[in-house]
Amino acid sequence: MSLLDIFNDDAFSLTSLTATINNQPYKPGRIGELGLFTESGINTTSAMVESKNGELHLLPTSQRGAPALQARGGKRQVRSFVIPHIPYDSTILADEVRNVRAFGSESALEGVRTVVNQSLSDMNTNHEVTLEHLRLGALKGLILDADGSTVIYDLFHEFGVTQQTHTYKFSDATTDVRIQCVKLRRKVDDALGAQPYSGLRAFCGADFYDGLLAHDYVKDAYHRYQDSALLRNDPKGGFNFGDIFWEEYRGQVDGIPFIPVNEAYVIPEGTGIFRTWFASADFVETVNTIGLPRYAKQRVMDFEKGVQIHTQSNPLPICLKPRAVIRCKMS
C-alpha cells in the first residue's frame, strides 16, 4: 500500500481525525481539572450575550422567522462576541513514515496511524494549555491572546462594570486575616445577589501564598484550632482558612506565571457562572453544525513530500458575573 493510499483511508478522514484528537488522554491545567467551566457547543461563529446590571446571559439561537426571545423589563444590552479561532498545524514528512510499522504488526496503516496519533497528542497538549490560559483570563475578566498582552476581551469594559479588589496586609502582624476573609466574602455575596454558591476558592501567586502561610494570625489559628495541621503537613496542595480554600496556582508558560506572584483570585464555586462555548470549524463539512472542542484534518503537501495536519479550536470561555471574582493583592 502506497503512502498516498494510506492517507486516503477513512482512518485519516476529518471525522476520524477529529474523533481522535477529542479522545486524546485529558491533560488539563488546574482550571480544567476542577471542572469550573461548563462546556457546550454552538452552531454559529459568535455568541449573542445579554447583560443586565453586570450579569451576562447567553441568548439561544432559533430558526429564521421564528419568534425572538422576549426581554423582560430593566435596562438591557446585547453584545455579540466573536468566538476566537485558534488554528495549529503540523507536518509529517514522508521520511518520518517511511517503512514504519507498528510493533508486533505487519500493518503499514497501523504504523502510520501511530505516527499521526502522536502528532495529534502533541498538538492537543498545546491546545489544552491555550484553553487553560483563556479560561484564567475569563476568571480574571481580561482574556488575553497568546502573547500575554493583546486583549481579546475585557469583560469589565464590555459590560460597564468595575473589578472588585481586596488587599491583605501581610506585612502587618496585627492584621486579622480571618476578618479580611469575611469582608471579601461579602463582596462576592454582593456580586452574586441571591444566587447560591457552594464555596470559595482562591488561586494564589507564589508570593501571596507564602505571605498568607507565614502570617502570624494564620499560624496561630492553626495552632489553636487544628492541632497545628497546617504546620505539620505539606501545604502545597492547599488549605482551608476563613471559609476559603487557598491554593497556589503554579501554571506558567515561557517563565511567565498565569497569576502574578503577588496576587490571588477568589472565585465562587457551584454557581454555573463560568462557561466555555465552542464554535464549529471553518470547513465546508462543519458549517451550521454544533461546535466540538477541537478539529483535525489532513492534506497531502505539494509534490507529495508529506502530509500537513491541521487542527483548530474555537473556544470562548467567559464569566457571566465578572464582579463575583475578587482580585486580591498583598502589601
Classified as helix, coil or strand, 52 is strand
Position 63 confidence tier, pLDDT thresholds 50, 70, 90? very low
Average pLDDT on 34-63 reads 74
CATH architecture of structural domain 3-59+77-152+275-319: Super Roll (3.15)
What are the structural domain ranges in the chain? Answer: 3-59+77-152+275-319, 163-272+323-330
Quick check: 205 pLDDT over 60?
yes
- The grid coordinates listed for 134 are 483563556
Quick check: 65 pLDDT over 70?
no
Average pLDDT on 229-250 reads 78
Quick check: 11 pLDDT over 70?
no
pLDDT digits (tens, 9 = 90+) for 264-310: 999 999 998 999 999 999 999 998 899 999 999 988 888 878 888 99
Position 64 confidence tier, pLDDT thresholds 50, 70, 90? very low
Q: Would 3-59+77-152+275-319 and 163-272+323-330 be classified into the same CATH topology?
A: no
Give the sign of the dihedral formed by CA 288, CA 291, CA 292, CA 294.
positive
List strand residue ranges (DSSP E) for 35-168, in order.
38-41, 46-52, 55-58, 77-82, 86-93, 142-144, 151-154, 165-168
pTM of the model as a whole: 0.84
Position 116 confidence tier, pLDDT thresholds 50, 70, 90? confident
Q: Mean pLDDT score of the chain, rounded to an integer?
A: 83
Q: What per-residue confidence (pLDDT) applies to 162?
A: 95
Average pLDDT on 78-99 reads 83
Q: In the CATH hierarchy, which fold is given to the domain comprising 163-272+323-330?
A: capsid protein of prophage fold (3.30.1930)
Quick check: 56 pLDDT over 60?
no
Q: What per-residue confidence (pLDDT) applies to 277?
A: 94
Task: Give the max Cα distance, the chain.
Answer: 77
Overall residue count recorded for the chain in this entry: 331
99-103, 138-142, 160-164, 175-179: range with lowest mean pLDDT:
99-103
Quick check: 68 pLDDT over 50?
no
Quick check: 39 pLDDT over 70?
yes
Segment of 15-19, 59-63, 204-208, 251-255 carrying the highest mean pLDDT: 204-208
Q: What are phi and psi of 93, to 5 degrees?
A: -80, 155
Q: What per-residue confidence (pLDDT) applies to 264?
A: 98
Position 54 confidence tier, pLDDT thresholds 50, 70, 90? low
Q: What per-residue confidence (pLDDT) applies to 274?
A: 95
Average pLDDT on 252-262 reads 84
- The grid coordinates listed for 99 are 517503512
Per the CB < 8 A criterion, the answer to whether 93 and 306 are in contact is yes
pLDDT digits (tens, 9 = 90+) for 282-291: 999 998 899 9
Per the CB < 8 A criterion, the answer to whether 122 and 90 are in contact is yes
